[in-house]
Amino acid sequence: MKSVVTTVIASADAAGRFPSTSDLESVQGSIQRAAARLEAAEKLANNLDAVATEAYNAAIKKYSYLNNAGEANSTDTFKSKCARDIKHYLRLIQYSLVVGGTGPLDEWGIAGQREVYRALGLPTAPYVEALSFARNRGCAPRDMSAQALTEYNALLDYAINSLS
């Protein structure tokens, strides 16, 4: 799994050099932001089900046609799978907060996702809406500190951009 440390080391190794000063500064910055990331991960863990449910409801409200017969949210099974996928993305964001890099999102959430959704005939716009809702709903200091919210939102933006 990629973290900022493994990414820096792998990049330096690939270039046939030792990590540079700027590489080490990048690692240091990540370590300095670790407390905020862990706060965000903890807050998300404590509210994961509620955040996922609210995000799912926001997506279905915007794309209500998905409830029509034959659409991606038309049966109880499809509904539970959609809600499960939103929760899965949020959990990967939580894991990414803990490791301090996008590795979990890249490896388990983003790699091949467009192809899978296209092959299954699933639209990505509802997932973008759900993650955007989760991003826009977050509030400092109500939900977490400003720095923790910044770390959380950065990963949500990363996931949103990958689905867009």
Handedness of CA 54, 110, 105, 25 (dihedral sign): negative
Q: How many CB atoms lie within 10 A of CB 41?
A: 22
Q: To the nearest whole number, what is the mean pLDDT of the chain?
A: 91
Please answer whether residues 98 and 38 qualify as being in contact, where contact means their C-beta atoms are separated by less than 8 angstroms: yes
Angle between helices 21-32 and 4-14 (to 10 degrees): 170
Which residues contribute to the annotated binding site? 82
Q: pLDDT by residue (tens digit) across 59-114?
A: 999 999 988 998 888 899 989 999 999 999 999 999 999 988 888 898 888 887 77
Q: pLDDT by residue (tens digit) across 109-122?
A: 888 777 788 788 88
Domains with residue ranges and CATH for the chain: 33-163 (1.10.490.20)
Angstrom distances, CA of residue 117 to CA of 8, 76, 88, 120, 144 = 32, 19, 15, 5, 33
Which residues contribute to the annotated binding site for (2R,3E)-phycocyanobilin? 82
Please state the pTM of the whole predicted model.
Answer: 0.85
CA distance 118 to 141: 39
Nearest to 85 by CA among 125, 114, 56: 56
Q: For position 114, what pLDDT does the model report? A: 72
